[in-house]
Structure 1
Amino acid sequence: MKIESLRRLRGPNVYLSRPAMVARLHLGGLTGVETTDITGFTERLLRAMPGLAEHHCAAGTPGGFVSRLRGGTYFGHVAEHVCIELSQLIGRDVTFGRTVGTGADGVYDVITECPADESPESPLPGELLTAAIGLVLQVSAGGGPAAPRLAEQLAGLAALAEREATGPSTRSIIEAARRRGIPVERFDDLSLVRLGWGHRRRMAWAAMTDRTSAVGVDIAGDKHVTRRLLDEAGVPVAAGGAAGTEAEAIRLFGRLGGPVVVKPRNGRHGRAVALHLTSAEDVRRVFAAIGGDAVVERQLDGRDYRVLVVAGEVVAAAERVAAHVVGDGRATITELIDRVNADPRRGTGHSRVLTRITVDETVRRVLARDGRTPATVLADGEVARLRDTANLSTGGTSRDVTDQVHPDVTRICRRVAALLGLDIAGIDLRLPDVAAPVPPVAGVTTAGVIEVNAVPGLRMHLAPVEGRPRDVGDAIVRAMFPGGSDGRIPAVAITGTNGKTTVTRLTAHLLSGSGLRVGTATSDGVAIDGRVVQVADATGPRSAQMVLGDPQVEMAVLETARGGLLRRGLGYDWSDVGVITNITADHLGQDGLDSVEDLAHVKAVVAERVRDGGTLVLNADDPWVRSLADRPRVRADHKRLVWFSLDPQNPVLAGHLARGGSAYLLHDGWLVQATGARRTPLLRLAEVPGAYGGAALHVAANTLAAIAAARALGARPETLADRLAEFDPAADNPGRGTLFRLGDVSLYLDYAHNPAALATTLRTLHRLWGPDRCVGAVTLPGDRRADLLAASAQVLADGLTRVVLYEDEDLRGRPRGEVSGLVEREMRARRPRLTAVRTEGFRAALTSALEMAEPGDVVLVIYESWGPLRSFLAGLGAVPAAGVPVHAALPSAGPGAGLQLARRLTGSPARR
């Protein structure tokens, strides 16, 4: 058994609504073998991993997977469940798995859920599946993993999971955002998270937000500047000063008197902080350890407290207790520390709510000061303090005191945060009692603020050892998104087989009329407020995130294609409007899609992920699109269903309107909005740009879909006609039914690449020019299945009598000449008297097609890449035709200019 490939689905997908990993697995020698074929396999596996007995599998109840094992199941399925169990054993909470055949013997796709906040680049899913495969192979070979070896392996995986996991502070913010319905995504494996979309997007890095003052952060990072600034404002702080040399530190000690605190001027997490220093020698030793740039302060009396201020309000307070152990009369201090560290809440770094206690030189020094060593046995109930500082990062614990904070303490902490300009501040105080007023300053300060933290840890408030946990992550999110905002902008998702790009561009054009900045992602690229920022096939999750993450965007219109959905999942969790244009045969044989029904299943994800209360726009004329309305996950949600149709008598449309529903339809040459029995004419089809006087009926369908989407987001009906009139297909939707003129020959450029699209395009040309005036310069993509290429060829043969066939630059896995050869054979078989030429590249193909064309003809150009073709046309002198075809009936002074130019440009004879 081996893994061929891994891919991460980062959002909702065809398997589930959460991220998942898809692994292509080869069973190798276990191909065709079931668990019942290997004597004792099930019992050995359950002894190694008893938790598998709780797995439900398809039965839906505990023990379901065991029943499958004992009844006989294949080993890809076994690897899936072992992978999930390993995940559970290391604390990675996932439950979903599925194993599906790929059609190849012994090759399966194993799908397992991934935690939502796990980095898309994390190696952990692959490591877990690799470990699962190793364990299954061991058991199938008659053995089983030795307990120590398995424990070691689990420990390694758990350590990797802990390194990859978010810390408690970041996790609390993510969880709070999700509870409020705010989109949130972790960036890589960092503590940086992006919350919300577009111009409402915010960012947080642990407990620091994008509105945190950089000046405030720098001030808080310099303990001497912080102390001076607060002192000048009348905030009670310890007397002290900065020392750049040992001599300065000794002078400060002499002036202040002991005990003093010596700490790094720019230190963090209590590192190298020393308290209770009562001699110049103590100060000299600590300063040397710091290595310069220290702060020497008089030590204040009382207990250590941390108060958290968010957006000017105190939201939590905790008393911090330094690391310590309590004796039982038998155990040594070292043994007591081991017991404390066994608490599952403790870990290394900041990934858990508590930190393990490390016996280091500081611990030994503190113990020695009290006459103890790590080997000392403490009496029952005796407390041994292990550190002076109470930081959680050095093993300290916390006790919640939020409800006890005196108003005087609250006032001081709010002032401190404001003085430093911090939206989030962790303020450390040393006070006799947080429930009492702060003692007034009368000569010598005995209690007050000792430090300010600009990116405070939240662990002590989220999970105090004593007292009530405080949801400080929610307080931060509420401050970032006031007034109950969910941080979202209106989003439209558009999918289907044909027309996606056109509907996306039309929808964006209609919505931009409201003055809002619209971001779009299409198969041609990403555009923000009408300006292209990336040229690429931008129909996948990465491009969607580019639009949704742009702080200029106020509305998003996203073309969402099959490939991105299958290979990476959606780039968003929900949309406000979903549009499905049509579903026809294309891309079959790719990504495990074998039928139009499979395609419909993929496209259904867009329909299912329209939010509760959102609008789903469906094509009533397409049977596969109609079927989506009956899917359980579409019906179950409270979506508003809107149909569009070219047939006002469509039974689905009629029934929907009879129930008071809304639809958009073509009626007597008008685009009409219908609600119940009411009909509102919007625009004559003949006036729609790109409809060529109404000949291009597919433009009517695309326009109706776009109007429905725009109206769902508030576009006013009285503005639609004006906005549509301003839509310039040549500039705003280039390469989709775009008409050019070259002398007295027309060129009609389109991206049609499947039978349905080609048939629609040819019907349009026949209405405009007639069936005998069309010449084709055609390429078809090599990654289409042979039967689809043959079907496309048959459509071309029915619509063209003269054609030039050429290959894409990207052959997509086929030998050069194979696609054009197949298409020519199929066309000749259907139309024996066909005039057909095969040539290399679109330049030679277009030149040959122009050579075939007579004055008044139209050359249909099916292209691979718009940019190079547009440049070549400009070089020929072709100009946009403004929607006016050149017909043979028009007067001509002689041979067509396009024909003459083509003959001059012809380089080598075409292969016939």
Structure 2
Amino acid sequence: MKILSIRRLRGPNVHLSRPAIVARLHLDALTGRETSDVAGFTERILRALPGLAEHHCAAGSPGGFVSRMRGGTYFGHVTEHVSIELSQRIGRDVSFGRTVSAGEPGLYDLIIECPVDESPDSTLPAELLETAAELVAAVAGGESVPAADLAERLTALTALAEREATGPSTRSIIAAARRRGIPVERYADLSLLRLGWGTRRRLAWAAMTDRTSGVGVDIAADKQVTRRLLEDAGVPVAPGGAARTVAEAVHLLDVLGAPVVVKPRQGRQGEHVELNLRTPGDVERAYTAAGGDVVVERQFAGRDYRVLVVAGEVVAVAERVAAHVVGDGESTVARLVAQTNADPRRGAGHAQVLTRIQLDANALAALDRQGCTPDTVPAAGRQVWLRENANLSTGGTGSDVTDRAHPDVTRLCLRVAALVGLDIAGIDLRLADIAAPLPPTGDPEQLGAGVIEVNAVPGLRMHLAPVRGRSRDVGDAIVRAMFPGGSDGRIPTVAVTGTNGKTTVTRLVAHVLAGTGLRVGVASTDGVAIDGRVVRLGDSTGPRSAQMVLGDPGVQAAVLETARGGTLRRGLGYDWTDVGVLTNITADHLGQDGLESIEDLAHVKALIAERVRDGGTLVLNADDPWVRSIAERPRVRADRKRLVWFGTDSRQPVLAEHLGRGGTAYVLQDGWLVQANGGRRTPLLRVADVPGSFGGAAPYAAVNALAAAAAARALGAALDVVAERLAAFEPRVDNPGRATLLRLGDVTLFVDYAHNPAAIATVLRTLHRLWGPQRCVAAVTLPGDRRDDLLAASAQVLADGVTRAVLYDDEDPRGRAPGEVSALVEREMRGRRPLIQAVRAPGYQAGVEAALRLAVAGDVILVLYEKLEPMLHHLEGLGAVPADSAVVHAERLSAHPSRAVLRSTSAAASP
């Protein structure tokens, strides 16, 4: 078996609401075979992975999957379950899987969920799948998998999972944010988190936030600067000083008196911190190990405490105990260490709540000072220390003593955090007892205790999972400080989808919201724009573009065009939106990404409706039967969302019933765009005044405006602002490439992106109303990744709608042979109308020029493009200039007075 490809769905997707991977698997020699065809397969796979016996599969109860294997199931299905079982064996929380045919014999797609906070760049899913495929192939080949080999592989996978996982501190912040409904995104495999969206966005890196003072971090990083700053403020700190030479360090020992502590001036996590140093030799050794540039301090007696301060509040206090083992009278120190490290709470580095104890040089030195070696067998009950510093990163443990901390201590720590300038600080103290009051004097000589260190980006593990005492939700304290007042960190967000019209509606909604004073971020087919400025060109309808908008700290509202391709291939770039808009669903993109019918397409588009938050607004086209069907889907749960319809006729049954129940809709009535609330009607704008409607000749423009008005009103835009901004929308500037009018001499150019039968038909109806069928010429290209039947349908629509046509191919044939699409379109057009004047051209430049030669004064040329910018540049080079749609409309009326009254009765799709 071979894993051919793996892609990650980063957010909610058509399979489930969590991230997932989609792996393309080829069964090779196992194609066409089932588990029941291989003698002993089920028993051998169960011996290797007994946990498979608990898998439910379709039966819905434990043992269901085993029944399937014994009855016969394909090996792709088995690989899915084995991958899930391997994930669970290494502590990776995964339970959902699905295997579907990929259209060819032996070819399957395995859809398996991913832990929500797993790095998007993680290599672990691929490793798990490769291991699963190898194991299944081996067992199917008659082999038994040795337990030792599998254990070795699982150990390697566990180590990889620990390396890529977030640490406990980061996990606690993520969990607290999710409980609050705050969107949180992890960057790559780092501990860097983005919480919230737009102007409410905040960043956190472990226990450091974007408001943490850089000066404070630098102060805390320099132990000498910290102690001097605190000492000058009257805070009790250990007497001491900095040493840049061995002689200076030894001199400080003489001045301070033994015992002393030597630590790197810029050290972290307890590395190279040496305690109980009493002789010049001890100090010299510690100085060398620390790499020079050290701080030498009097060693306070007492217990080690860590106090966590967050935003002016002491949220947790822990007593720390250095790494040690307790003798049992039988085991060596080395064996006791191994037994301690077997605790599942202990891991490498900071992956688990405790760190494994290392028998390294520092541990050996500590043992030596106690007269021990790793082979010593301590007496029962004897504590043997492996470190003298109490850092968790060197194997120490913590016990919660928050409720015992005396107010004097908490006041002192709050003052220390403020003096250093840290919003989050871990303050290390040595005191006789955290519960005792501090003497009135701050003189450390008299106290014999005080502050020994201040830590920026403090570890949270000892507070989250103390070995004794109550766990403290310090992640929640950090999130509360970042998002006070219960904020969920979200900005108003609209998602727009559909087959046609979604780009125009996206731009309209953004235009209206900008009129309310908001800085709007937009992701659409043509790029990403922030507050009206384009920051990225190209198709931007997928999850990465959505994240680009939502992650911009200047954005106050987001409007996200969300297309089929990005949704299927990468999932959504957001968890929920406030408003979801579905324009229409017609035949397009069938044959791609597993979509074979309009029903399949509707299933994908329904995801945008499902991901409107409870209490949000779902805006649906009442004239489109497929859109209407989405409202009935159980997962849409319209009863928990506010449903708003738009359409061309308030008498349409769905609209009439909705309004009869007192609902809200946006409709066309008596030549106006109208907001309808139950029986009340409020006019917004005359249809004839809708920009791009050509006085009503293009009813789709009015339908798009209705959808945009509904979305903007759902976010609180005032009626007068909606009407004013819709009227001020300039199609040529605000909606380029959609019904863009140009003039070249006596010929009008109608530039549009229609690329499926419904969209082309809609545009041609408009041109017929304005110019008449006999005056229509076309210079068209169609995308090569459409199925032949869809290209044929588009060709037939063109044949019915124009008298002359020039056909050219996209520069990117999208998997087709050069000239294949234009040849197919020409053949279909001639089959529909044998006498039609249709020619082919080698590219868009030749295509436009050939169409101009076919046109005569007063004609209109429908120009369908692949890429807008090159097309407009070429047309301008030929001398084309912008045309005023109102002037064109007036010219057509004067030439055809009978068209002066145009009623908007169609719910046609917009291009």
Equivalent position of 2:319 in the other structure: 319
Q: CA deviation at 1:636?
A: 6.4
Distance in structure 2 (CA, Å) of the matches to 1:780 and 1:289: 71
Residue in 1 that maps onto 2:458: 456
Letter of the 1:787 counterpart: D
The Cα shift of 1:832 comes to 1.3
C-alpha displacement of 1:373:
1.8
Provide the C-alpha distance between the structure 1 equivalents of 2:884 and 2:540, rounded to a whole number of angstroms. 28
Does the CA contact (< 8 Å) of 1:519 and 1:554 recur in 2?
Answer: yes
Aligned to 1:572: 574
Task: Tell me which residue corresponds to 1:815.
Answer: 817
Superposed CA RMSD: 1.1
Tell me the distance in 2 between the aligned counterparts of 1:827 and 1:876: 28
Q: Which amino acid aligns with 2:24?
A: R
AA at the equivalent of 2:491: I
Indicate the percent of aligned positions where both proteins have the same amino acid: 72
1:882 to 864, 881, 884: 884
Distance 1:637 1:661, change over 3 A: closer
Q: What pairs with 1:716-727 in structure 2 (closer than 5 Å)?
A: 716-727=718-729
- Equivalent residues, number: 891
For residues 446-525 of structure 1, the aligned pairs below 5 Å read 446-525=448-527
- The answer to whether the 8 A contact 1:27-1:76 is kept is yes
Amino acid at match of 2:478: I
Given candidates 553, 561, 567, the residue that maps to 1:551 is 553
Distance 1:857 1:636 in 2: 48
Deviation sequence 1:77-122 (CA, Å, 0-9, x none): 0000000000000000100000011221111100000011111111
Question: By how many angstroms is 1:637 displaced?
Answer: 5.8
Is 1:770 aligned with 2:772?
yes
Q: Which residue of 1 aligns with 2:219?
A: 219
Q: Which moved more, 1:348-357 or 1:374-383?
A: 374-383
1:603 equivalent in structure 2: 605
Q: Distance in 2 between matches of 1:289 and 1:90?
A: 37
Aligned pair in 2 of structure 1 residues 703, 636: CA closer, same or farther (>3 Å)?
closer
- Say if 1:857 and 1:888, in contact at 8 Å, map to a contact too: no
Alignment check: 8 A CA contact 1:588 1:594 kept: yes
CA distance in 2, matches of 1:51, 1:823: 57
Correspondences of 1:15-164 after superposition (within 5 Å): 15-164=15-164
Helix, strand or coil for the counterpart of 1:47? Answer: helix
Aligned-partner residue type, residue 723 of structure 1 = R
Structure 1's 826 and 368: CA in aligned 2 closer, same or farther, altered over 3 A? same
Deviations 1:663-682 (A, max 9, x none): 00111111010011111111
Q: Compared with structure 1, are the counterparts of its residues 636 and 644 closer, same or farther at alpha carbon in structure 2 (3 Å cutoff)?
A: closer
1:291 Cα deviation from its structure 2 partner: 2.3
Task: Please give the alpha-carbon distance, in whole angstroms, between the structure 1 residues aligned to 2:83 and 2:372.
Answer: 48
1:385 counterpart = 2:385: yes
* 1:716-795 → structure 2 map (5 Å cutoff): 716-795=718-797
How many angstroms apart in 2 are the aligned matches of 1:241 and 1:188?
41
1:858-894, Cα deviation, whole Å (9 max, x unpaired):
0100000000111112222222212132858989xxx
1:704 alignment counterpart: 706
How far has the Cα of 1:545 moved from its partner? Answer: 0.1
Q: How does 1:850-889 map to 2 (within 5 A)?
A: 850-883=852-885, 884-885=887-888
CA contact (8 A) 1:238 1:445 kept: no
Pick which of 101-110 and 786-795 moved more.
101-110
Q: 1:821-868, CA deviations, whole angstroms, 9 ceiling, x for partnerless residues?
A: 110011011111101110011111111111111111101000000001
Aligned partners of 1:637, 1:215: CA distance in 2, in Å? Answer: 52
Q: Which amino acid aligns with 2:536?
A: Q
Gaps of at least 5 residues in structure 1 are 892-912
Residue in 2 that maps onto 1:908: none
| Aligned-partner SS, 2:774 | coil
Code of the aligned partner of 1:461: H
The answer as to whether partners of 1:237 and 1:445 remain within 8 angstroms in 2 is no
Aligned to 2:905: none
Instruction: Trace 1:291-306 onto structure 2 (pairs within 5 A).
Output: 291-306=291-306
1:54-97 CA distances to partner (integer Å, 9 max, x unpaired)? 11111221111112111211111000000000000000010000
C-alpha deviation, 1:770, in angstroms: 0.7
Residue 685 of structure 2 contacts residue 727 of structure 2 at CA under 8 Å; is this kept in 1? no
Mapped pair 1:310 → 2:310: yes
Q: Secondary structure at the match of 1:5?
A: strand
**Matched residues in 2 for 1:548 and 1:676: separation?**
35
Structure 2 vs 1, CA of residues 395 and 725 (structure 1 numbering), >3 Å: closer, same or farther? Answer: same
Superposed CA deviations along residues 781-829 of structure 1, whole A, max 9, x for unmatched, are 1110000000000000010110000011111111111100110011011
Report the Cα offset of residue 648 of structure 1: 2.3
Specify which of 815, 818, 838 is matched with residue 840 of structure 2: 838
Aligned counterpart, 1:901 = none
Partner Cα separation in structure 2 for residue 141 and residue 648 of structure 1: 66
Distance, in Å, in 2 between the alignment partners of 1:890 and 1:858 is 16
Contact 1:508 1:520 in 2 (8 A): yes
Q: Distance in 2 between matches of 1:437 and 1:128?
A: 55
Maintained 8 Å contact 2:261/2:297: yes
Shift of residue 438 of structure 1?
Answer: 2.4
For residues 48 and 373 of structure 1, the distance between their equivalents in structure 2, rounded to whole angstroms, comes to: 40
- Normalized against structure 2, the TM-score is what? 0.97
> Who is 2:898 aligned against?
none
Q: Is the 8 A contact 1:755 1:791 kept in 2?
A: yes
Deviations 1:708-733 (A, max 9, x none): 00000001112222111211100000
Query: Does structure 1 retain, via aligned residues, the 8 Å contact 2:712–2:722?
Result: no
Deviation at residue 444 of structure 1 after TM alignment: 4.7
Choose 640-649 or 875-884, whichever is displaced more.
875-884
Match of 1:369 in 2: 369
Deviations 1:157-197 (A, max 9, x none): 11111101000000100011001000001000001010000
Aligned ranges 1:271-350 → 2 under 5 Å: 271-350=271-350
Say if 1:300 and 1:445, in contact at 8 Å, map to a contact too.
no
Instruction: Decide which moves more: 88-97 or 368-377.
Output: 368-377
CA shift for structure 1 position 29: 1.1
Matched AA of 2:805: V
* Whole-angstrom CA distance in 1 between matches of 2:818 and 2:793: 20
* Contact kept? 1:856, 1:890, Cα under 8 Å: no
Retained in 1: the 8 A contact 2:307–2:316?
yes
Q: Secondary structure at the match of 1:632?
A: coil
| 1:501-560 deviation per Cα after TM superposition (whole angstroms, max 9, x unaligned) | 000000000111110100000000000001111001000000000000000000000000
User: Is the 8 Å Cα contact of residues 631 and 638 (structure 2) preserved in structure 1?
Assistant: no
- SS across alignment from 2:536: strand
| Structure 2 counterpart of 1:82, one-letter code | V
1:700/1:98 Cα in 2 relative to 1: closer, same or farther (>3 Å)? same
Residues 248-280 of structure 1, C-alpha deviations (whole Å, 9 max, x = no match): 111111111111111100001111111111112
Q: Say if 1:239 and 1:445, in contact at 8 Å, map to a contact too.
A: no
Q: Deviations over 1:13-59 (max 9, x none)?
A: 00000000001111111111111111111111111111011111112
Question: What is the aligned partner in structure 2 of residue 665 from structure 1?
Answer: 667
**CA distance in structure 2 between the partners assigned to 1:40 and 1:853 by the alignment:** 75
Higher mean C-alpha deviation, range 436-445 or range 109-118: 436-445
- Matched residues in 2 for 1:889 and 1:414: separation? 78
The amino acid across from 2:836 in the alignment is: L
Give the CA deviation at 1:382: 1.3
Which 4+ residue blocks in structure 1 deviate beyond 6 angstroms? Answer: 888-891
Answer yes or no: is the 8 Å Cα contact 1:856–1:888 preserved in 2: no
- The whole-number CA distance in structure 2 between the counterparts of 1:367 and 1:35 is 57
Aligned-partner Cα distance in 2 for 1:663–1:372: 82
What code does the residue aligned with 2:631 have? Answer: A
C-alpha distance in structure 2 between counterparts of 1:879 and 1:232, whole Å: 74
Map of 2:903 onto structure 1: none
Question: Aligned partners of 2:433, 2:608: CA distance in 1, in Å?
Answer: 57
